[in-house]
Amino acid sequence: MNYPSRRFGFLRDLLKFKNGREGRLKLMTVVAASSLLIVSHSRSPVEAALEDSPKNIVDEVWQIVHSEFVDPDFNHVDWQIKRQELLQKDYTGQKSAYEAIRQSLKGLGDPYTRFLEPKEFDELTSQTSGELSGVGIRLAINEKTSKLTVVEPIPNSPASKAGIKPGDHIVRINDKPTELMTIDQASAEIKGEVGTEVSLQIVRNEKPPFDLVLERAQIELPSVTYNLNQEQNSKVGYIRLDEFSSHAAEQMQLAIEDLTKKQASGFVLDLRGNPGGLLFSGVEIARMWMEKGAIVSTIDRKGGNQKFSANGQAITDLPLVVLVDGYSASASEILTGALKENHRATVVGTRTYGKGTVQSVHSLSDGSGLAVTIAHYFPPSGIDINKKGIAPDVQVNLTKEDQTKLSINPTLIGTKADPQYAKAISVLQNPPLTKTNPANFAPVTIR
């Protein structure tokens, strides 16, 4: 099912964010930072060769993996010999060094330890920070007209304040025609440093085009959307969480509090298509729903075990159903496992992705980045979910027709036309579901 916010790229769960460039992200206030390199006091011939610039990045990557990778045996790769091999090569430039790095990382046998070129690293940091510098427009290519179209302006952004509306066609950006631009190319034109300007030419309702000049600002991206649904005689708070960014927890808190004030009698938390994000964000959100109980534990290569539990600060104890699917991964699984195993929620949907590892993300000296797996995580039961996922309490499979219908018309997601949501409402309204034992519901399979 193609949810509008789904990202099929790197599924990540960040325990800590390593940043070598001052002021890059505000994540530094909530996560730990440490030195990227292991310092040596003597210079071998190999180290002297590092004066060749591409080898700097190669060795930065080697050092990080050497000090942090979760498997101390490096998947039976002699990592010391690998360093010699890497530094003895002649590189024609950064691209050839990047390729050598990727090939060396493949030998570790871990799909989540990966190298990120500068553009990929910037995209990842924007996602996990939940911020970007731009004017706040969600864009799409209209399938019928092939025109660059505004899906929606982000609330309180320069775009929304300027009156840009869903359905507007952007025909020129900085006087460049958008006719042959991809979404990525258009986004790159619109994004820029805070305080600089971008000019847009817009066509609305086939009327003559008009121009707008917008000043770029730091935009907080919404990770949470929610609404109060009237379902028969009850009001249900529906919350969709797209990813666990650094702003997700505060947005979740606002959603729960607002829906509670509007007298929601229960909640549906939609984690379908959510690829994860920041570990600490997942823990914070779990604490909003759980008054007590274990949430998750992480174990690093030295056997260090870090445990996270509820802190008695739950916002609500109202009945809760969590929606998941095969693309609910990483921090989504941490939250799902904690809520399910503590009998705080009933889980509806299909088995989750099965990513039971934690990554640390480092910025490198040339603007590229490295994600390296540093720990395994486990739900309260201690069961290893890696490559296995979490089974729902109530399995509801979507037919191909369902998937096509919801993909073509995403506004149907989270309505009675969405079979998984419809089942969640049924579970909420089922008499055995109570505040004291919200998971007391016989598992069934619906096809």
Q: Are residues 108 and 236 in the same domain?
A: no
Whether residue 298 is contained in a domain is answered as yes
Prediction pTM value: 0.79
Whether residue 6 is contained in a domain is answered as no
Q: Are residues 180 and 240 in the same domain?
A: no
How far apart, in Å, are the Cα atoms of 179 and each of 136, 183, 186, 197, 386? 21, 11, 10, 21, 44
Cα separation of 421 and 413, whole Å?
Answer: 8
79, burial (CB in 10 Å: exposed 0-12, middle 13-18, buried 19+): middle
Q: Are residues 189 and 230 in the same domain?
A: no
Location of structure tokens 């496992």? 337
Q: Are residues 30 and 150 in the same domain?
A: no
Of the candidates 220, 241, 260, which is a domain's last residue? 220
Secondary structure, 3-state, 373-440: EEEEEECCCCCCCCCCCCCCCEEECCCHHHHHHHHHCHHHCCCCCCHHHHHHHHHHCCCCCCCCCCCC
In 3D, which of 231, 229, 255 has the Cα closest to residue 242? Answer: 255
Residues spanned by the domain of 143: 131-220
**What pLDDT score does 369 carry?**
97
Mean pLDDT computed over 327-355? 97
Give all strands (DSSP E) within 221-329, no chain letters: 224-231, 234-241, 266-270, 277-278, 294-300, 305-309, 320-324
Whether residue 11 is contained in a domain is answered as no
Of the candidates 220, 251, 272, which is a domain's last residue? 220
Whether residue 2 is contained in a domain is answered as no
In 3D, which of 263, 312, 265 has the Cα closest to residue 433? Answer: 265
Least confident interval from 11-20, 298-307, 385-394, 398-407 = 11-20
Query: What CATH code is carried by the domain that includes residue 176?
Result: 2.30.42.10
pLDDT band for 2, please (50, 70, 90 cuts): very low
Indicate if the pLDDT at residue 40 is higher than 70.
Answer: no
What three-state secondary structure class fits 148? strand
| Number of domains present in the structure of the chain | 3
97, burial (CB in 10 Å: exposed 0-12, middle 13-18, buried 19+): buried
**What pLDDT score does 133 carry?**
85
Whether residue 179 is contained in a domain is answered as yes
Asked if 248 contacts 282 with a C-beta cutoff of 8 angstroms, the reply is no
Residue 362's DSSP bridge partners are: 18, 370
pLDDT single digits (tens) 396-435: 999 999 999 998 888 899 999 999 999 999 999 984 434 4
Whether residue 424 is contained in a domain is answered as yes
**What pLDDT score does 347 carry?**
97
Active centre residues (catalytic) = 330, 355
Indicate if the pLDDT at residue 353 is higher than 50.
Answer: yes
Of the candidates 55, 81, 116, which is a domain's last residue? 116
Q: Are residues 216 and 267 in the same domain?
A: no
Residue 361's DSSP bridge partners are: 17, 371
pLDDT band for 155, please (50, 70, 90 cuts): confident
Indicate if the pLDDT at residue 38 is higher than 90.
Answer: no
In 3D, which of 335, 428, 337 has the Cα closest to residue 388? Answer: 337
Q: Which residues contact 340 (CB under 8 A, 6 or more apart)?
A: 322, 346, 347, 379, 390, 393, 439
Q: Are residues 266 and 340 in the same domain?
A: yes
**What pLDDT score does 6 carry?**
36
Least confident interval from 254-268, 272-286, 366-380, 399-413 = 399-413
**What pLDDT score does 408 carry?**
83
Q: Are residues 372 and 410 in the same domain?
A: yes
Whether residue 123 is contained in a domain is answered as no
Q: Are residues 189 and 283 in the same domain?
A: no
Indicate if the pLDDT at residue 237 is higher than 60.
Answer: yes
Q: Are residues 137 and 286 in the same domain?
A: no
pLDDT single digits (tens) 219-236: 888 899 999 999 998 999
Average pLDDT of the chain to the nearest whole number: 85
**What pLDDT score does 430 carry?**
81
Cα separation of 304 and 171, whole Å?
Answer: 55
Q: Are residues 60 and 75 in the same domain?
A: yes
Whether residue 425 is contained in a domain is answered as yes
Task: Give the β-pairing of 197-203 and 210-215.
Answer: antiparallel
If one counts every other C-beta atom within 10 angstroms of the C-beta of residue 410, the result is 14
Query: What CATH code is carried by the domain that includes residue 68?
Result: 3.30.750.44
Q: Are residues 405 and 338 in the same domain?
A: yes
Q: Are residues 150 and 82 in the same domain?
A: no
pLDDT single digits (tens) 64-79: 999 999 999 999 999 9
